Amino acid sequence: MDSVSALLDSIADVGRDAFRGGYSRGVYTGAELTLREWFAEEARRRGLAVETDRNGILWGWWDAGEGGRAGALVTGSHLDSVPGGGAYDGPLGVTSALAAVDLLRARGVRPNRSLAVAVFPEEEGSRFGVSCLGSRLLTGAIDADAARNLTDADGVTFAEASRAAGIDPAHLGRDDGTLANIGDFVELHVEQGRGLIDLDSAVAVGSTVLGHGRWRLSVSGQGNHAGTTLMADRADPMIAAAQIVLAVRSVARAEDGARATVGRLQPVPGGTNVIASRVDLWLDIRHEDDAVTAALVERIHGKAQMAAAFEGCSVNLTAESRSGTVSFDPALQRTLQNSLKGAPLLPTGAGHDAAVLSGLVPAAMLYVRNPTGVSHSPEEFVERDDADAGAAALADVLEDLL
Ligand code: GLV
Ligand code: MN
Ligand code: MN
């Protein structure tokens, strides 16, 4: 039987990023593939039957009960990371699921229905731009062709990356057979803000996931020479991009509950002595009301058009992904709270595969305290005792649901 910390320690060297700090474990890159192999080995060590489905979701099956796999209880999370991410976002849920299987076995639990641990690919959308890509494909929330044609920063398509990882891209897409196997889904995740610090609790039950979306703004101007082009003669998209970044902040600050971020900006061609011909900015916008999010995007687009025109540039807006606010299944929330003797309820501003699945199957989440209150950063942290408490809470919940 392994503790969550021992399992996390066993992958602590995989995908370390010396430049950014933390971990860069892009989906289907060497690091994430190593983690997928690690998961398969750990699952087999526990007697789970390991399979990869049509969408690259990894499954470790504890087959039990008379109903076969239909309506099984599923737990799990993801192993991919943001660039320079922490050690817990994703892997905490996977390692806790494995530790919970150990605990259930040690408690002598004999399940009345099958239990599976699932690992979803590209939860972060860090490589191909669309978050929760595996669960979106599984549920049909993204068109298979659109997914196949997504490209990474090097122009590799998701279809090519899937094929290289041993997954036939022709079979990507909504998978009713696999969906029918999920009776309930419970994802454990590191808490990604100050929620549990402020509640003074190690574990919480998820209530809602804030609606979120991603857009790309491409500002085009005149690429030119940094030394020979007089300041008055420039159509520099970087200047417009700078104005747009400031506009994003002012638009979001003026709207109650809104969060808007430009976390990625790319000048093309990107030379020190080159006035860019184009600058791409990626926007992440979150608000509980989809109509407000749409209005925020419109406002930002309007300001971007003005900023671009003022610099003699033009701007193009593309929507990359959207997810509405999700409230988790109330009955399942109550079941989890009962199992955990009144653990607090906690909303989150972070996206999760559980939120994507919740449109089609009862889904729930457990959060484990993060004493730094920081996530998507190497400073993300979970105390060993809290990690153990989380795995025990997950085992309690699974035992009651089995
Ligand atoms: C994923 O963690 C997200 O909320 O973007
Ligand atoms: Mn994340
Ligand atoms: Mn995550």
> 123 C-alpha to center of ligand 3: Å?
7
Residue whose token pair is 């060993």: 384
User: What stretch of H or E contains 181?
Assistant: helix 176-181
Q: Give the single-character DSSP code of 17.
A: -
60 and 118 inside one domain: yes
- Residue 350 near ligand 1, beta carbon < 6 Å: yes
User: How many Cβ atoms from other residues are within 10 Å of residue 9's Cβ?
Assistant: 13
Q: Is the per-residue pLDDT at 359 higher than 90?
A: no
318 and 330 inside one domain: no
pLDDT in tens, 88-121: 999 999 999 999 999 999 999 999 999 999 999 9
Q: Where are the beta strands (DSSP E) in 103-196?
A: 115-120, 182-190
Residue whose token pair is 């005149």: 222
Domain of residue 237, residue span? 211-323
Sign of the Cα pseudo-torsion (196, 203, 24, 122, in order): negative
Q: What are the start-end ranges of the H helices in 311-402?
A: 330-339, 353-357, 384-401
- Residue 351 near ligand 1, beta carbon < 6 Å: yes
Cα 72 to Cα 115: distance, rounded to the nearest angstrom? 6
pLDDT in tens, 155-212: 999 999 999 999 999 999 999 999 999 999 999 999 999 999 999 999 999 999 999 9
Closest CA to 80 of 131, 41, 140, 20: 131
Cα 14 to Cα 91: distance, rounded to the nearest angstrom? 12
Domain end: 277, 301, 323, which one?
323
- Residue 223 near ligand 1, beta carbon < 6 Å: no
pLDDT in tens, 369-378: 999 999 999 9
User: Which ligand 1 atom is the nearest neighbour of the CA of 349?
Assistant: 4
Q: How confident is the model at residue 213 (pLDDT cuts 50, 70, 90)?
A: very high
Cα 150 to Cα 128: distance, rounded to the nearest angstrom? 6
74 and 167 inside one domain: yes
The whole-number pLDDT of residue 65 equals 79
pLDDT in tens, 49-70: 999 999 999 999 999 978 899 9
Domain end: 298, 323, 348, which one?
323
> 375 C-alpha to center of ligand 1: Å?
10
CATH number at residue 304: 3.30.70.360
User: Which ligand 1 atom is the nearest neighbour of the CA of 376?
Assistant: 2
Q: Is the per-residue pLDDT at 1 higher than 90?
A: no
Written as six digits, the tokens of 301 are 């687009």
290 and 179 inside one domain: no
CATH number at residue 206: 3.40.630.10
- Residue 323 near ligand 1, beta carbon < 6 Å: no
175 and 260 inside one domain: no
pLDDT in tens, 39-48: 999 999 999 9
Closest CA to 391 of 153, 151, 186: 186
Q: Is 4 exposed, middle or buried (0-12, 13-18, 19+ CB in 10 A)?
A: buried
Q: Is the per-residue pLDDT at 294 higher than 90?
A: yes
The whole-number pLDDT of residue 8 equals 98
Q: Is the per-residue pLDDT at 342 higher than 90?
A: no
User: How many Cβ atoms from other residues are within 10 Å of residue 364's Cβ?
Assistant: 27
Contact partners, residue 310, CB within 8 Å, separation at least 6? 240, 243
> 350 C-alpha to center of ligand 3: Å?
8
**Domain total in the chain:** 2
Whole-number Cα distances in Å, 304 to 215, 240, 276, 287, 310: 13, 7, 17, 20, 10
Beta bridge partners of residue 272, listed in sequence order = none
Written as six digits, the tokens of 68 are 């076969």
The whole-number pLDDT of residue 66 equals 83
195 and 300 inside one domain: no
51 and 157 inside one domain: yes
- Ligand 1 mutation pick, 264, 348, 352, 365, max ligand atoms within 8 A of CB: 352
- Residue 81 near ligand 1, beta carbon < 6 Å: no
222 and 190 inside one domain: no
pLDDT in tens, 13-41: 999 999 999 999 999 999 999 999 999 99
pLDDT in tens, 225-281: 999 999 999 999 999 999 999 999 999 999 999 999 999 999 999 999 999 999 999
> 367 C-alpha to center of ligand 2: Å?
13
Q: Is the per-residue pLDDT at 288 higher than 90?
A: yes
- Residue 124 near ligand 1, beta carbon < 6 Å: yes
Go through 219-255 and write b for each residue having 16 or more CB atoms within 10 A of its CB, e for each that does not: bbbbbbeeeeeeeeebbbbbbbbbbbeebbeebbeeb
- For helices 91-106 and 384-401, the axis angle rounded to 10 degrees is 60
Rounded to a whole number of angstroms, the CA Rg of the chain reads 22
User: Is the separation of the CB atoms in 338 and 393 below 8 Å?
Assistant: no
The whole-number pLDDT of residue 70 equals 95
The whole-number pLDDT of residue 350 equals 98
Terminus-to-terminus CA distance in the chain, angstroms?
A: 20
Q: Is the per-residue pLDDT at 2 higher than 90?
A: no
The whole-number pLDDT of residue 59 equals 98
Sign of the Cα pseudo-torsion (206, 209, 210, 213, in order): positive
Domain end: 291, 307, 323, which one?
323
18 and 125 inside one domain: yes
User: Is the separation of the CB atoms in 181 and 71 below 8 Å?
Assistant: yes
Cα 19 to Cα 21: distance, rounded to the nearest angstrom? 6
Shortest-distance Cα residue to atom 1 of ligand 1: 351
User: How many Cβ atoms from other residues are within 10 Å of residue 389's Cβ?
Assistant: 19
The whole-number pLDDT of residue 364 equals 98
Q: Is the per-residue pLDDT at 321 higher than 90?
A: yes
Cα 154 to Cα 73: distance, rounded to the nearest angstrom? 38
pLDDT in tens, 116-142: 999 999 999 999 999 999 999 999 999
226 and 312 inside one domain: yes
Ligand nearest to the CA of 189: 3
Go through 67-93 and write b for each residue having 16 or more CB atoms within 10 A of its CB, e for each that does not: eebeebbbbbbbbbbbbbbbbbbbbbb
Encoded amino acid at 206, one letter? G
User: Is the separation of the CB atoms in 340 and 203 below 8 Å?
Assistant: yes
293 and 378 inside one domain: no
52 and 156 inside one domain: yes
Ligand nearest to the CA of 211: 1
- Residue 321 near ligand 1, beta carbon < 6 Å: no
